[in-house]
Structure 1
C-alpha cells in the first residue's frame, strides 16, 4: 500500500475504504464498533501500521439496500479520510475504535479483490481559493453560530452539545456546526462536497434553521447523539 501524499499534492493515492450509511465531515470524531471479519482485518492493519498513517477512507452508500459494493456507482464520489486514534480489541475479536476525520477525497477507482476490504484510488479535494469578502465572512459566521445555538438548545440538553471554539477557521466552521446536529445524509453530503467555504457556511445556516423549525413544529426532539449508536454502524456487506 502506498504512502499517502501530502495534502497539497493533487495526485492520486491508495486508501482502504469503509462504506457507511452516513457522511463523515472533516474534523469530526467517528466511533465505530467493528464486527465484520473484513473490517476486523482492516482495523488490525491500521493498528499494526500496515496501513500508512493509520488513515482510511469513509464514503457514504447511495442506497441503504446495498449489501455488497461492486462498483463506484454504489458510492458517493466524495468521501472523507479518517485517522485511527483509539482501538480496543474485545475478547471475541471485535474492536471498538475512535477515529478523527481528516481530509476529503474523490473516488477514482475501486479495487474489490486485492484485500479482504475495499481499496480505492483517490484524489485529495481542496477548497476553492477564498475570494475577498470583507466583513461578510464574520457576519455570516455570527449568524451561523446563532442558528447552531438555536438548534442545539431546541434539540439537546446543555451537556449534549458545545459551541465551536472561537478560533475555528471559516473553512472548518460549517463542519463543526453540523457535527452536533442530526442532518439527513443528503444534506451532510452536500456540505462535504461544497468547495467554497462561504457557500458551505450559508448552506449549514439554512439547514440548521430549517431543522430547528421542524423540531418546533413537531414538538419533538431527537435522541442524544451518544444514544444513536446505529448511525455509526456499517451496512452488512457480507
Structure 2
C-alpha cells in the first residue's frame, strides 16, 4: 500500500485545482526540502480535509476525512519571513485517494498516510454517456442562473465531462464540507448530481437574500 506525506488542511483540493501554500513550521520546511530533492514528477503529497482540529498544533491530524487528493508540486520558492524561512509552494490536484490510516513505520516529522489511489471510471470526452451528457448540460445551465443571480457574467467552463463538477464547484461560494462531498463522488455522474443539488440550493439562497457568503480562499492556506 503506497505511503504519502499528508497536509491536513481546512480546505479541499480537487483534481485539476490549484493550491498555493506557505510553509514555515519546521516539519513542513523539512518536507519541502525532501520534495525538492526528488525528481520533478515525484514531488507529490496528499491533501486531506480536517474533520476536527486545526491545521497546526498537536490536534491537527486526529480526525481527517477519508477521501483526499494527491497534489503535484509545480513550483517552490524559499524566502525570508518575519520569523524565519518560508517556502512558497504551488501545487495542482492530481488524483483522489482513500486514507487507510497513518503509516506507523514512516518515522517522519510530518504525518505520513497509507493510501489507496482511487480509479476514475472513464468517460468518453467525445461521446459521453447519456446521463453524463445530460447532467453536464443541466449543471452548466444552473451555473449560469446562479451567477446571474449574483450579477456576475458567466465565463465558459472549460473542462472534460469527468472534471466539470470540480471546475464548477471551484467557482461557487461553498463550505469546505460541500467541496468534500464533490470530491467523494465516485464517478462523473455522481459528482455532477451533487453539484447540481448544490447549485440549486445556492441559487435559492441568492434569490432569497440577494448574496452569498464569501468562500474561503485556497490562496490563504498556510502551514505554520
TM-score after normalising by structure 1: 0.78
- Measure, in 2, the Cα distance between the counterparts of 1:185 and 1:174: 15
- Measure, in 2, the Cα distance between the counterparts of 1:60 and 1:172: 20
Partner SS state of residue 195, structure 1: coil
Partner SS state of residue 27, structure 2: helix
Selected match of 1:115 from 94, 108, 113: 108
CA contact (8 A) 1:17 1:119 kept: yes
The 3 A distance-change label for structure 1 pair 185 and 120 is: same
- Measure, in 2, the Cα distance between the counterparts of 1:123 and 1:29: 22
- Measure, in 2, the Cα distance between the counterparts of 1:155 and 1:45: 44
CA contact (8 A) 2:149 2:210 kept: no
Query: Which residue matches 1:100?
Result: 92
Query: Which residue matches 2:136?
Result: 141
Could you list the runs of 5+ residues in structure 1 that have no partner in the other structure?
Answer: 1-11
Deviation digits for residues 39-61 of structure 1 (CA, Å, limit 9, x no counterpart): 12212222221897101000011
Deviation digits for residues 141-184 of structure 1 (CA, Å, limit 9, x no counterpart): 111012222333444755xx74321xx32221111111111212
Query: Which residue matches 1:8?
Result: none
Deviation digits for residues 184-213 of structure 1 (CA, Å, limit 9, x no counterpart): 222211111111311210111110221122
Report the CA distance between 1:76 and its aligned residue.
0.9
The 3 A distance-change label for structure 1 pair 88 and 164 is: same
Deviation digits for residues 79-100 of structure 1 (CA, Å, limit 9, x no counterpart): 1000110112112311221100
Query: Which residue matches 1:5?
Result: none
Size of the aligned set, in residue pairs, is 217
CA contact (8 A) 2:48 2:69 kept: yes
CA contact (8 A) 2:205 2:212 kept: no
Higher helix share: 1
TM-score after normalising by structure 2: 0.83
Partner SS state of residue 14, structure 2: coil
Query: Which residue matches 2:65?
Result: 76
The 3 A distance-change label for structure 1 pair 186 and 41 is: same
